[in-house]
Structure 1
Amino acid sequence: MTDNAASVTSVPPITTPPVPAQPANQPTQARNDNSDAGRYRLTIEAVGGNRFVYKVLDRVTGEVIRQLPREEVEKLISDPVYRRGEVVDTKA
């Protein structure tokens, strides 16, 4: 087996820009990219035996921002004709 190390070119090291130093008397402030994160609330509702519905609510308006499983899936599950695995009606 031959050594191919001579044919490999060297790669320069990665350099990062210097971070400006803060004076010792100034506290470092935490970076908050999402200042309204406290506006939302996660609720977990037990539905039936071992099923749960997860909802993200807006604390200010009370609006449901996201729900898992979606309302359409909940309606499908509660349909007496629905059987697991049947998402598309192929009997038509």
Structure 2
Amino acid sequence: MNKKQSASAPGPADAGGEGESPNRRLGLAEAAVVIVIVVASAVLAAIGMPMVSVLKLLFGAGLIAAVVIVVIHTGVSHRILRALRALAGPTE
């Protein structure tokens, strides 16, 4: 495969016409949250918190972050808001 073929081949982001590239990097805010969680876990482990509790903290924070990112990037939040508006009734 030459360079011209590989450059013009459609990637996963081109297939649907919308969405982000699968190899998108973390933004500054997302990176800051990751750093704060890791530093907080290290401090808690250093002051004597049991390692199982620190790991539970990391797991919980990671799970919440994953759910938030999926909701934001898949547009589920817009669907939930539309459903809530429909359930609320007319806004007269």
Larger Rg: 1
| TM-score (structure 1 length as normaliser) | 0.25
Q: Which has the higher helix share?
A: 2
| TM-score (structure 2 length as normaliser) | 0.25
